[in-house]
Structure 1
Amino acid sequence: MCLLLGLGVLAFMYPLVQAESGGLSRLWWLFLVGAAVLARRVRAPRSGGCWPGGRRRCCDPRLFSTVRGYAIGAGVGTLYFIGFSGVWLVFALFYQRGLHYSPLESGLAVTPFAIGSAGAAVVSGRLVDRFGRLLTVCGLTGVIVGLGTAAVLLRFAPLDVAPWLAAPALFAGGIGGGFVVSPNITMTLRDVPVRMAGAAGGALQTGRQRLGAAVGTAALPGLFYLVLGRGDDFQVALFVALCAALGAMLTSLALAAYDWLRDRRRRAAHGKCPEEVANSPVHSRSL
């Protein structure tokens, strides 16, 4: 049934890849086909996540329905990578085609984000047990503010100074990014039973870095070229593409904030202070 997953993703991606040549208007019906195929792919009987005939599914749907925090964590990661993965290809197109940077100069222009992300990732693993989902919320907020500021500067500032002005904003966004990926994985997998750990990790990796990254790298450059083909300049095309990426990240932030607020209500209902909750073992519901 992995073939169904591939066909569903292909149906979603093909109109996006063909956006520059009018694919969104000609091939919009493929989105409906993709939704139907993916719905068929995830549908499973109630008995243990097996297909008829006793064949085991590579992804047990009970992960999403009964393991606390898994579905939201997977959604947070997938939406984040939809926006995150395509951003760097759009930046490369802008710097190399719009500003005529060399590949090396283009890479150096976005290096501040990588530096900030690497520095924050060093400490994020030590903080996730203390702050939980709040760490992801703060990280996503930092990424959105940083990339949003960079988008505005690169859109409205003079091109000869815009990359220099955007560098500090990218660095700040990178710091936020360092508090997103690893803490989100920890929060998503912490309640998964040991016997389902392999399936949970594989499904999370597939959705986050395969589906999310594939859709992002297809959609954002397609949107960039679509705007550019209508006569707008490179600054407008970059701004529109970055706004689309920020839209996916904002949705990811909304899911993370919902999970954090729900956890706070659960703590209040059990009468535990944050320190007690952080130091007590968390048990998933029985499957």
Structure 2
Amino acid sequence: MSDRVLGTHLPGAPADGGIDAWLAFTGCLIAVFMQMIDVTIVNTALPNLTADLAASPSQQLLVVSGYSLAFACTLLTAARIGAMFGRRIVFLVSVVAFTAISVWCGISTSAMELVIARIFQGAAGAGMAAQTIAILIASFPPNRHQQVFALYGATAGFAGMLGPIVGGALVTADIAGLGWHSVFLMNLPIGLLAFVLGFRYLRLGRPENRDRLDLGGVALSTVSLFALLAALADIQQNGWRPGPSGVIAASLAVGAIFIGYERRLTRRRGSPLVRLDLFADRGFALGSGLVASFFGLFTAFVFTVSITLQDELHFSPLRTGIAMTPFALGAGAGALASPFLVKHWGVKVLAAGIAVYGGCVAIGAGYLYLTNGNVNLALALGPVFIAGLGVGLFGVQLQPLMLAGLRERQMAEASGQLPTIEQIGNAVGLALLSVVFFRAHTLTGSVIMLSAIAVGALAVALPTLALPDPAERLT
């Protein structure tokens, strides 16, 4: 395989998918696991750290969403920096930064300090995540791409599902009296392992041709996203008012200007931050909307369940983790079964999976309403497992299918755009839905939030059927 602008190989290091490539990719997956688990692990620890640090409702939201927002706003820039200076060096520096900042989060002594640390942590996480797909493309031959894409998607999804379980176990175990601090400090050994594997086995050279950083695109995209999320946070606190509503309209206008700017830059053969030509592929365009919707719904679901169980139903962190375990087990089963089922029945499997998930969430909302929060865990085990199964069936194969129609160079370009789409879904979905949930912050509010998530999931099922058939895309 010849050298490429994005993630080129060192001479004598072909993309043969050998043992060194798998060990390097393992280091990348460990980094992805660490980055994704930090999206959701904090949810279970949120009540404890709120009490310890006297965090206000807005600070609680920022501890969760600040990470995702910083991640989303810096992913595109991180991907371009990796293309300019080399995927290997940017990945390794980002792993070190993420690990060090995780320690900072773990030793924070005030809510505002933790919020600031989480924002820096999200930016460092973007530096890791933005390189992963490009590393995958450069390290493996095309006939292995579907396999490694599936592993990448499964690792990211499963990490998000394990977050509340691991968080509950760590907070309850209270190892060395660390309490909630341990959910961040656990990244120290994990990050060291990811760094060692990447440093030893990741063999990517520097690009021969370096595109310039699209500073105009960086400024416009960052302003648009920050304005949108800041306005949503204000609405969550104070309700709908003309000021924040105007900021939302302005953020959308800046976003439109950003798209126009990137189009002009592409026509002039410049180096746009976003390659809009990727969206000419139907699978990528439709899949982008599905990915954003799914990640927004899923993040809001995990956040809602964690807060509802602990704040409204007064579950301990450990009991919260136990309650979520069937969901993770179901998701694991769905992830394992999805490639085989999709091979035989195509995208109908994905549509059925997300519809089953939405139906189970709707049942859960109705159950909470009818029982007034008197939950029987034994009775809930089956629906919770089936809900996870639906998530596993949908989430693992979605990314391979949406990327399969792209050319090899285009997939390298997608290395920053796909995680950005995911994190925009995370941040915007959580912020939009939490406007309803956090302002109510009652059992009724939880029921409304879960009902909204169920409706959203069911709405995603129909457009999923419009994805190109896997048999055509993967031949």
Same fold (TM > 0.5): yes
Q: How far is the alpha carbon of 1:219 from its aligned partner? A: 2.8
Query: SS state of the match for residue 180, structure 1?
Result: helix
Letter of the structure 2 residue corresponding to residue 99 of structure 1? L
Partner of 1:50: 266
The alignment's TM-score, normalised by the length of structure 2, stands at 0.50
| Counterpart Cα distance in 2 of 1:15 and 1:104 | 35
Q: Deviations over 1:108-134 (max 9, x none)?
A: 222221110011101212333333322
Partner of 2:457: 249
Letter of the structure 1 residue corresponding to residue 271 of structure 2? R
Partner of 2:258: 41
Q: Deviations over 1:9-41 (max 9, x none)?
A: 222222322334324334111221121111122
Q: Is residue 358–residue 456 contact of structure 2 (8 Å, CA) maintained in 1? A: no
- Structure 1 residues 51 and 100: alpha-carbon distance in aligned structure 2, compared to 1, 3 A threshold: farther
Partner of 1:86: 300
Structure 2 residues without counterparts, runs of 5 or longer: 1-216
Letter of the structure 2 residue corresponding to residue 58 of structure 1? L
Instruction: Confirm or deny that 1:31 pairs with 2:248.
Output: yes
Q: Is residue 142–residue 172 contact of structure 1 (8 Å, CA) maintained in 2? A: yes
Q: How far is the alpha carbon of 1:45 from its aligned partner? A: 6.4
Letter of the structure 2 residue corresponding to residue 10 of structure 1? F
Q: Is residue 75–residue 252 contact of structure 1 (8 Å, CA) maintained in 2? A: no
Q: How far is the alpha carbon of 1:282 from its aligned partner? A: 5.6
Partner of 2:227: 11
Greater shift, 149-158 or 182-191, is seen at: 149-158
Q: Deviations over 1:127-183 (max 9, x none)?
A: 333333222111111111111111111221243335443332221111000011121
Partner of 2:208: none
Q: How far is the alpha carbon of 1:69 from its aligned partner? A: 1.4
Letter of the structure 2 residue corresponding to residue 89 of structure 1? F
- Structure 1 residues 95 and 81: alpha-carbon distance in aligned structure 2, compared to 1, 3 A threshold: same
> 1:1-287, aligned counterparts within 5 Å?
1-26=217-242, 27-44=244-261, 50=266, 52=268, 54-64=269-279, 66-208=280-422, 210-228=423-441, 234-257=442-465, 259-260=466-467, 278=471
Letter of the structure 2 residue corresponding to residue 59 of structure 1? V
| Counterpart Cα distance in 1 of 2:384 and 2:473 | 37
Q: Is residue 146–residue 169 contact of structure 1 (8 Å, CA) maintained in 2? A: yes
Query: SS state of the match for residue 266, structure 2?
Result: coil
Q: Is residue 79–residue 251 contact of structure 1 (8 Å, CA) maintained in 2? A: no
Partner of 2:47: none
Letter of the structure 2 residue corresponding to residue 217 of structure 1? L
Q: Is residue 323–residue 377 contact of structure 2 (8 Å, CA) maintained in 1? A: yes
Q: How far is the alpha carbon of 1:206 from its aligned partner? A: 0.9
- Structure 1 residues 24 and 248: alpha-carbon distance in aligned structure 2, compared to 1, 3 A threshold: farther
Structure 1 stretches of at least 4 aligned residues deviating more than 4 Å after TM superposition: 44-47, 280-283
| Counterpart Cα distance in 2 of 1:133 and 1:44 | 35
Structure 1 residues without counterparts, runs of 5 or longer: 229-233, 265-276
- Structure 1 residues 240 and 73: alpha-carbon distance in aligned structure 2, compared to 1, 3 A threshold: same
Q: Matched residue pairs, number?
A: 258
- Structure 1 residues 252 and 34: alpha-carbon distance in aligned structure 2, compared to 1, 3 A threshold: farther
The alignment's TM-score, normalised by the length of structure 1, stands at 0.81
| Counterpart Cα distance in 2 of 1:100 and 1:69 | 44
Q: Is residue 233–residue 431 contact of structure 2 (8 Å, CA) maintained in 1? A: yes
| Counterpart Cα distance in 2 of 1:78 and 1:186 | 15
Partner of 1:268: none
Q: Is residue 263–residue 276 contact of structure 2 (8 Å, CA) maintained in 1? A: no
Partner of 1:271: none
Higher-RCO chain (CA-CA 8 Å, sequence separation at least 6)? 1
Letter of the structure 2 residue corresponding to residue 61 of structure 1? L
